[in-house]
Amino acid sequence: MCVLVSQTVRSKTSGHYMHGATVQYEFSGDEAKWDAVIAAFVQAIDSDPDVSGLFTYRVTRTLDGNKRIHWAQWDVPETAQLLQTRDYFKSFSVKLQELLEGKLEPAVVSILHKTKD
C-alpha cells in the first residue's frame, strides 16, 4: 500500500505550512485502466467533504507519454492520515500497485516556493 509521508516546509512567500508527496514512474500498460483508476481517486477526493479543499492531487504525463508524475499537497498531517483511512484511498493504492506491478515508490518533497492559491 502507498503511504503518504510528509515534510513540513514553511513557504517563504505565504508563510503557510504545507505538506506534500510526489510519485514518479514509467507506465506503458493499459491506458484506459490507468485513467479509470486515477479518475476514480480524484473524484473520490473531490466528493469527500472531510478532505476536499484540504488535500489536492495532480497527475501529469510527460509529453513522450511514458512518465507519470503525481503531486499531492495537504494542509496538516491529520488530513493525510484521514485520507489514508478511507476505503477509496486503500482501493486506489492497491489498484495502482497492481497496474505498476509493485513499482510505485512515493517520495517526500520540499515545497520551497509556490504560486498563490
Q: Tell me the domain boundaries of the chain.
A: 17-108
DSSP reduced 3-state for 9:
strand
Q: In terms of CATH architecture, what is 17-108?
A: 2-Layer Sandwich (3.30)
CA-closest candidate to residue 1, choices 17, 19, 23: 23
CA-closest candidate to residue 91, choices 23, 44, 22: 44
* 87-99 helix and 31-47 helix, angle to the nearest 10 degrees: 160
Query: Above 80 in pLDDT, residue 7?
Result: no
pLDDT of residue 108: 60
| % of the chain residues with pLDDT over 70 | 81
What is the per-residue pLDDT across 38-91, written as a single tens digit (0 to 9) for each?
999 999 999 999 999 999 999 999 998 789 999 998 888 899 999 999 999 999
Please give the residue that has the higher pLDDT: either 7 or 88.
Answer: 88
